[in-house]
Each structure stands twice: as structure tokens, then as C-alpha cells.
Chains A and B, each alone.
Chain A
Amino acid sequence: MQKDYEQLPQDKFKRITLNSDHAERIAKPSLSFWQDAWLRLRKNKGAVVSLVVLVLMIILALVGPHLNGHDGTTQNLRHANLPPKMQGIENLGVMDGVGNLGGKKIDLYEMKKVDEYYWFGTDGLGRDLFTRLWQGTQISLLIAFVAAMIDLVIGVIYGGVSGYFGGRTDDIMQRIVEILIGIPTLIVVILMLMIMEPGIKAIIIAISITGWIGMSRIVRAQILKFKNQEFVLAARTLGTNDKKIMSKHLMPNVLGIIIINTMFTIPNAIFFEAFLSFIGIGLQPPNASLGTLINDGYKVMEHQPYVLLFPAIVISVLMIAFNLIGDGLRDALDPKMKD
């Protein structure tokens, strides 16, 4: 708050005219919603690591069964119950082919005169567990992806129609959902599996038969939230038809939450498949899935813990990866999402 103003060069007080565009200039680069979400997702270390791990797992599930020359179904009783042995690290004291036999530690490969390497060991029928593990992972992932896709399609259509058209349609559709939601998933899944021919198809149907309800409720809630917002009313005022409002105005807004929800359905489906196979009503031998492998492993856990260990690790890592990616996506797509 000075009184004596210093003398400044007079030309500094020239009036200038600024282009008003200049004032309207937006300083930050404009990012689309998805670019912005991607940037945020990339900052989430857990999600990025999980994404890499997941991609590796999927690649292994695809190529793993062909990596070591064993085919996973050939039974060779001479090679039964071999512990893991892998080139390169066998000298480190792990995966060196040494197993328990009658309380003594013995190199079972030497004893049984087996020259091949079974990286993750063999089961009681002499099948290569490494190959079986990745075949099982493949099946588990397949079941999970297909079940999640079915949930997605049915859930989005049901929820979308119910939410968008509202009124009587919504009333009737929601009464149905209210009753279905009361039926515990577990019960439905078990009952469905009991009456169907056991197999991949049966498991997928059993998992998706109630799985879509969650998705439909989320989609309906979102549609209800958005459909009365000004931008939709504006579009309607301008004469946009229902189909276009749905696809151009509502779906892009609901897409984020659909993706997030799907990312949580997949691990859920993996869990259910494994759960069903573990209690013995899922996939039947000789088919391998993570669940059947864990079940097989559990039976011989006392003496050959490695049979259980590897599928247990794979299913846990898969589940953790999907959950972390789901969390990351949720934070990235909608930091405030609560509903």
C-alpha cells in the first residue's frame, strides 16, 4: 500500500487489446473420459502389476500345456507321484526331484530311473502336473469369461429395458427380480448342476442362471439415475429416438460401471467353478480345472503337498489380480462411485 509510486516507463501503460479467444483458452490438454481413466489406472501400481500378471497367466494358460513336451492326459504309472524337478534350479535345493518316501528324503527320479523333467511333478497316475495345471487354468478362465459375458449381456439388456422404459414394464420386471434375488446363488447352482450332464456347459449355465441379476440391478439403477438428467431430456427435446438415446447418451455413461462389475464377476465365476469342482459336483475327471486340480491335490496333501500347492497358488494369484484390477478400474473410472 505504497503512496509514492515509482516512475515506470510510460510505454508499459499502453493499453493492449487481447483476443478474447485467449481468455477462453483452456490451459489443460483436453482428455477424453477414457484417456483420463487410463492415466489414473496407470498410477495405480497394484492394478498395473496385476494387469501384467494376468496377461502372463493367460499366455501361460494358452501355451503352458505345450511347453515341456508332456501332454497331461497320458497316464504312466511308472512315473506316478514324482515331485517337481526343473532344469536350472534343481541344484538350489528346491524342485530337485527329492520327495518323501516312508519318512526319508529321496531323489525319486533317480530311484525310479526317470530321465525326464516334470517341472511341477506328476500325479498318482503319472500325468504331468505342469501341463495339467495350465490346461486347468485355461478351462477355469474359459468358464469364467463365458459366464461373465452371459451375465453381462442378459444383465445389461434386462436392467436397461427395465430402467429405461420404467412404468409397468419396470414394475413387473422388478417384481421378478425381487423374488429371484431372494434365492441363494449357491442353492440354484448346486440344483442346476445336479440335473444337468456334468461338464463345462453345465457349470457355465449354473453360474450364469442367477449371476445376471446383480448386473441388471446396477444397470437399472444407473439408467434411472441418468435418464432424467438434463442432457438426456435435452436430447429428447431435440427429437432423438429411444434407440439413439440409449446407445449414444445412456450407455457411454453406464459403460464404466458395467466394466467394473464384469471385472468382479470373473473372479466370482472362477471361485464358483473351483468351489463346485472341489465339492465334487463340478467338472468330472479326467477333465482338469483349477477346482478339480485342487481337489486332487487336497486328497494327497499329506504326502505330496506340491500337487495342491501349484493350483492353489495359480487360483489365488488369478483372483488377487482380478480383484486388484477391478479395484483399480473402480477408482479410475469413477472415484466417487458408491452405488
Chain B
Amino acid sequence: MTKILQVKDLELSFHTFAGEVKAIRGVNFDLNKGETLAIVGESGSGKSVTTKSIMRLLPESSSEFKNGEILFNGKDLTKLPEQEMQKIRGKDISMIFQDPMTSLNPTMTIGKQVMEPILKHQKVSKAKARKVAIELLAMVGIPNAENRYKMYPHQFSGGQRQRIVIATALACNPQILIADEPTTALDVTIQAQILELMKDIQKKIDTSIIFITHDLGVVANVADRVAVMYGGKIVEIGTVDEIFYNPQHPYTWGLLSSMPSMDVNEEKLYAIPGTPPDLLFPPKGDAFALRSEYALQIDMEEPPPFFQVSETHYAATWLLHPQAPQVEPPAAIIERMRTFPGSRYYEATGGRA
């Protein structure tokens, strides 16, 4: 597998009136060609900021890279001059935003907006660009694209607008597509359609996708690998199966337990106590320890390193240290682990539910 993007020790801060907000505090991950990596976490965990920093879309006046690098095709994106960055945006890496109602320019026809990256990055005539744009619109499922090409965003529904945004993002066959909660603002039925569309497209153009979401149901549906973020750090990363059926970090346990599911009869839905850490004054040790019932003394003192669980699975929790006591995950998690070969609760006979 070729690594198309490598994020190493990324640290980023915002300068605000209140002081320095350490929004990303050492993030590491790789993105392989053709895969979908989901980044999950609650609001304020730094997932959106991470991807916006890859695109360098954060306001330059208030944000600052403190450390680390983002390697894309051998270039460190954190150090690239703005002009070089403009050549990458929309061409090699493109992005879809959360709210389709606000992410299209209300006073520009959708055709023009889809054409914009084509004209910007490829040396083609207007007529050709127009043709490509219509094809793209048809591909993302806008019926009657030739005629609707000249319409304005408000003449489309939310789901259709998100399709148009996707068409724009795909205009130059990007190597990486970053989708920042692309379905959050949509109806559930539309959500499913958009997810299907994204999966289809990935098959067609072989792009890598970074999919940001807080919805674990969506993750299971689209992702190959999952990174769980908390307090500006990745706390656990692994394949979808590893994260869903052999989670190691107490925060991942919390997330999975708080996901309503059909097959487990819960009396009441689990909620993670407390609130996310204030990144103006990030905690010294494990940021989640304050909210975790599995906290160890050392969590208060030192941030945990990544412990390897398998070839593809890493988790940053002191619980994986050989000296750490064995703890019993929540019942629902044990239930999940029973079905995963290699987990300590695996029941060979049980198999996958």
C-alpha cells in the first residue's frame, strides 16, 4: 500500500483573546491510496481542525503550526507557500463541508461553481469545462444536468446541493477527498444516499477519502480504517473491525457504548460523563482520564504513548502497559469483543454475530 499522506507529530494552536488554544496536540496518521479513513470524535476534539490544517484553510492570522509536518507527495504542506498551496487545493486535495445549505455561493450558478476548479487547474476551454461539469453533475445524480446547470443553489434541495458540492470536489479527480461531516446536516434517508454516492465514486475514481464524523453508524458503513480523536490527539487508530470489535481505549469504549444499537437490549443509553477538556489549559496526562472510570494514577501525570495492539491497531492508553491492572470493559464492549478473533474475550465457537 502506498502512503499518500503522512501527518507526523502535528501540533497547531489558535491565538485567541483568552490565550493560546492548543487545538491539535501531536497527531500522527497515514492515509493509504484508495482507502477511506474515518476520523471520529466529539465536537472540539480537533478532527475538523486537523483536516482544515491539511488544506491550510485555517485563518493565517490566528492559527499557527507549532510542530510536525504534513507530507503529501514528498512536500511538507505546512511549509508550502500559499501560491503552491492554491495549486494543490481543489486539484490534488479537495473538500466537502458539513452544511450544503451554506457551502455554495448563492449568487453564482451551480454550473459556474462546478466549473471553477476545472478552469482553474486544467488548461481546457470553457466549452470543455462546461461539458465536464455537466458530466460530473450527472454522475453525482443531478437529473437533467444540462438544463439545471444554469440554476442557482437555492433552487436545489439540501441533498442535491451536497451532490453538487461533491461534484465540485471531484472536478479534478483529486487524490484525496476530505469530507467534513458531509451528512450531518441532512435527513437520514438523504444521508444514506450521499454515503452510497461517495462509495460509488470512490470505486470509480480511486481516490482516498478522509471522512470526518461523530456518527459511528456512518463510520461502520464507509470506512476502512478509523482514527478516534479526543482532546486534540488521536487516542486509538485501527481498522474498522478492530475499532468496533476490539477497542482498547476507554474513550472508544465510551463512544461505542453510547451508540444506540439494535441487537443489544440496553435499558438505558450510556452517556460519557463530563465535558471535553478545555484546550486553553490542556490536562497534563491523559486528557480523558478525568472522565474515565478506568483512570490510573499515571494518567494524571504523563500522557500515554501509543501501544501497539496489532499490525494496524494502536491505542494511547496506559491500560495497555504490561504493568497496568486488567480492567473489565463495559458489558456491551465485552459483548462486541467476544466476536473478534484475537481479542481476549473471543469465543471461538460464537463467531460473528
Contact = CB atoms under 8 A, between A and B. Distances in A.
Nearest to A12: B298
A7 interface: yes
Interface in A11-32: 11-18, 20, 22-24, 26-28
Interface residues of B, number: 32
Contact of A16 (B280, B296, B327): B296
A18 B295 contact: yes
A23 B324 contact: no
Interface stretch (B132-140, B314-322, B342-350): B314-322
B308 A14 contact: no
Nearest to B17: A43
A14 B290 CA distance: 15
Given A1-B306, A1-B314, A5-B322, 4 more contacts: A8-B298, A13-B297, A14-B296, A43-B17
A11 B301 CA distance: 12
A12 B305 CA distance: 15
A10 to B, nearest CB: 6
Contact of A24 (B273, B296, B301, B323): B273
Interface of A: 1-3, 5, 7-8, 10-18, 20, 22-24, 26-28, 43
Nearest to A11: B297
A36 to B, nearest CB: 12
B298 A18 contact: no
A26 B280 CA distance: 13
Given A8-B321, A10-B323, A23-B290, A15 B275 contact: no
12 contacts: A1-B305, A8-B321, A13-B297, A13-B324, A16-B295, A16-B296, A18-B289, A20-B274, A26-B275, A27-B278, A27-B281, A43-B17
Contacts of A20: 273-274
B294 interface: yes
B217 interface: no
Contacts of B297: 11-16
A334 to B, nearest CB: 17
Contacts of A18: 289-290, 292, 295
B308 A1 contact: yes
B84 interface: no
B303 to A, nearest CB: 13
Contacts of B295: 15-18
Contacts of B293: 17
A15 B273 contact: no
Contact of B300 (A11, A16, A23, A43): A16
A5 B296 contact: no
Main SS of the interface on chain B? loop
B298 A13 contact: yes
The 8 closest A-B pairs by CB, nearest first: A23-B274, A12-B298, A27-B278, A23-B291, A1-B306, A14-B297, A13-B324, A23-B290
Nearest to B289: A18
Identify which of B274, B289, B292, B307 gathers the most chain A CB atoms within 10 Å of its CB: B274
A7 B322 CA distance: 9
Contacts of A28: 278
Contacts of B260: none
Identify which of A13, A17, A27 gathers the most chain B CB atoms within 10 Å of its CB: A13
Given A23-B273, A28-B278, A8 B308 contact: no
Contacts of B106: none
Interface string B63-89: 000000000000000000000000000
Contacts of B301: 12
B143 interface: no
B275 A23 contact: yes
B330 interface: no
Nearest to A24: B274
Nearest to B319: A13
A43 B17 CA distance: 10
A16 B274 CA distance: 17
Contacts of B273: 20, 23-24
B278 A8 contact: no
A218 B273 CA distance: 41
Nearest to B290: A23
A26 B25 CA distance: 21
A7 B323 CA distance: 8
Nearest to B288: A23
Contacts of A11: 297
Contacts of B305: 1-2
Nearest to B308: A1
B290 A22 contact: yes
Contacts of A23: 273-275, 290-291
Contacts of A24: 273-275
